[in-house]
A and B are shown apart, each in its own frame.
Chain A
Amino acid sequence: MSDRLVKMQIPMILTAVIGLLMIIEFFFPMPASVTSLNVTLRSFVTIISATALILGTIVLTIFHTKKVGTRGSEWYYSIVYVVAFVVTAGLGVLNVRDTTFLWIYNNMTSPIGAALYSLTAFYITSAAYRVLRARNWNAAVLLVCALVVLLMLIPIGAILFPPVVPLGEWIRSFPSGAGFRGMIIGTSLGIMGLGVRVFMGRQKEHLGIREERRDSE
């Protein structure tokens, strides 16, 4: 078989056929054989996703191990990763419900995650103080909307300034809702367009074609 057939044509045909099978089932009643085939194909997605996760972990571990071995830039951070990975994964593989594993999860992973997320409150406040200023009419509208929606969202806002509730609800439901609706419709149309291009073989990035060209240049 030619290289082009293996690298391009077969994957493109597979993508188009499988994509069509999925879409047809969504719009039309299909025989049990097609539904059953689709269930199997979706199981493949699940298996491939899980495999990709394992593959990603392996690649990341190899990267950090090599970095430690070659004393690359900031290699000491890689030691933290390697040690954390070996200890956590090792205990998890032995027994995911083991007390030590859960202790690591509950007392290290969870607080770190929560702490990182809560930092946004501090940075957003600092950024807002410096940047959110009524420098022109557009910025003034943004500022007023931000203040109204914030006061609507904090529990005491409606008690202190009752008009912020209807005003904030209006901003959230109409201007903001309309904007997000437009964004959702735009994104969906973009996805449809991309799908059509993939079916027609016009979009080849998922086959690594662009990278291949760049490599060959």
Chain B
Amino acid sequence: MSLMDKMLALDQRIIFALMFIALAFPILSPVILPMNIQQYSRDSFEFADSIPSGSVVLIEGGLGAATYPQGGPGLEVQIVHLLSKDIKLVFFSIGTETAAWTVTAIDNALAKLPSGVAAENGVNWVHMGYVPGGESGVAAFANDIRSVKTEDHFGTPIGQIPLMSDINKASDFAALFWWGGSEGSIPFGIRQIVTPFGVPMTGMCTTNEVPNYTPYINSGQMIGIIGGVRGSAEYEYLMGMPGLALGQAMATNFGGLLWALLVVLGNVLYFVARREGGAK
């Protein structure tokens, strides 16, 4: 077997090792390189920034163990952003696991809050917990919260939560933030809340899912989107709160460049081999 053939059939363990080094190195030795902000992220940030103080917004926490590293840091910074503007937050999740991760996001965000920002459970924010039933559950929640939930995630009866006293349907919210991760549930929010109730919405999904939702952004049904770890990093950057996501985004620099390099190398070798009459 010639060197060319060996390179074309490169052992995947070598590729795995190279990728591991490319991803691990920037995380272990953080280097913050310059970055530009994507328009979708900027739109999403500006949408959150434009919500008037005192408004109540709805947040779907759809991040799980697999997707929290991508979206979690962004959600945490957004919670800080909104609470700092005296905006009240109502959380819910359409998965049991994601409901637990939403608690993690809230806890981490509260730990990052500047002193003096009000963040009392039940007054400034409330987590309504798991809403079962997928899209039907979202529809039911949007139409009549009390028909779906009688208590919040921590077992407090809804009647004893001051923030919920005047809230019972989607039209009571000024905005919707759908942190869908890889749930594929962003259209639930568009179909069941944006269209019937006219509530403006922005969202978050994993990087690979961004093209799925561009039609909704182009049509104006959704205002921007936070895409994966880079979107979270950009939110951190715009908020001036560099954190985990910014470091991870730097890792994607090296991982992405290695990917591009390997693909180009594979093509160069392929053409050389084809010219020599080897590759098909």
The interface of chain A, by Cβ under 8 A from chain B, is 26, 35, 38-40, 42-43, 45-46, 49-50, 53, 105, 109-114, 116-118, 121-122, 124-126, 128-130, 132-135, 143, 146-147, 150-151, 153-159, 165, 169, 172-173, 176-177, 180-181, 184
3 closest cross-chain pairs (CB), A and B: A113-B65, A155-B35, A154-B256
Chain A residues, CB < 8 A from B259: 124-125, 128, 150
A113, B253: Cβ atoms closer than 8 Å: no
B64, A46: Cβ atoms closer than 8 Å: no
Is B242's beta carbon under 8 Å from chain A? no
Chain A residues, CB < 8 A from B16: 122, 126
Which one, B65, B97, B211, contacts A180 given CB within 8 A? B211
B214, A129: Cβ atoms closer than 8 Å: no
Complex: A146 Cα to B215 Cα, angstroms: 19
Which one, A42, A45, A46, A157, contacts B143 given CB within 8 A? A42
Which one, B64, B69, B207, B218, contacts A177 given CB within 8 A? B218
Chain A residues, CB < 8 A from B227: 153
Complex: A129 Cα to B258 Cα, angstroms: 11
Which one, A43, A150, A173, contacts B260 given CB within 8 A? A150
* Chain A: minimal CB distance from B209 (Å): 10
Is B121's beta carbon under 8 Å from chain A? no
Which one, A135, A150, A184, contacts B215 given CB within 8 A? A184
The interface of chain B, by Cβ under 8 A from chain A, is 10, 12, 15-16, 19-20, 23, 33-36, 39, 64-69, 97, 100, 131-134, 136-137, 139-140, 143-144, 147-148, 182, 196, 207, 210-212, 214-215, 218, 227, 230, 233, 249-250, 252-253, 255-260, 262-267, 270-271
Chain A residues, CB < 8 A from B143: 35, 38-39, 42
Closest to B207 in A: A153
Chain A residues, CB < 8 A from B100: 105
> Beyond A147-B263, A155-B230, A156-B257, is A50–B132 a contact (Cβ under 8 Å)?
yes
A121, B215: Cβ atoms closer than 8 Å: no
B15, A122: Cβ atoms closer than 8 Å: yes
B218, A159: Cβ atoms closer than 8 Å: no
> Beyond A46-B132, A122-B15, A157-B256, is A128–B262 a contact (Cβ under 8 Å)?
yes
Complex: A124 Cα to B140 Cα, angstroms: 39
B132, A114: Cβ atoms closer than 8 Å: no
Chain B residues, CB < 8 A from A180: 211-212, 214-215
B249, A114: Cβ atoms closer than 8 Å: no
13 further A-B pairs in the complex, CB-CB below 8 A; given A45-B137, A156-B33: A49-B137, A50-B132, A50-B133, A113-B65, A122-B20, A126-B12, A129-B10, A132-B263, A132-B267, A154-B230, A169-B39, A177-B214, A177-B215
A42, B218: Cβ atoms closer than 8 Å: no
Chain A residues, CB < 8 A from B271: 134
Chain A residues, CB < 8 A from B69: 114, 118
Complex: A146 Cα to B264 Cα, angstroms: 11
A112, B214: Cβ atoms closer than 8 Å: no
* Chain A: minimal CB distance from B224 (Å): 13
Complex: A109 Cα to B68 Cα, angstroms: 13
Closest to A111 in B: B65
Pairs A–B under 8 Å by Cβ, sample size 16: A35-B143, A42-B140, A50-B132, A53-B132, A110-B68, A111-B65, A117-B67, A121-B19, A125-B258, A128-B259, A135-B270, A147-B264, A155-B253, A177-B214, A181-B215, A181-B218
Which one, A147, A156, A169, contacts B35 given CB within 8 A? A156
Closest to B100 in A: A105
Chain B residues, CB < 8 A from A46: 131-133, 136-137, 140, 148
> Beyond A128-B259, A177-B218, is A158–B36 a contact (Cβ under 8 Å)?
yes
Closest to B140 in A: A42
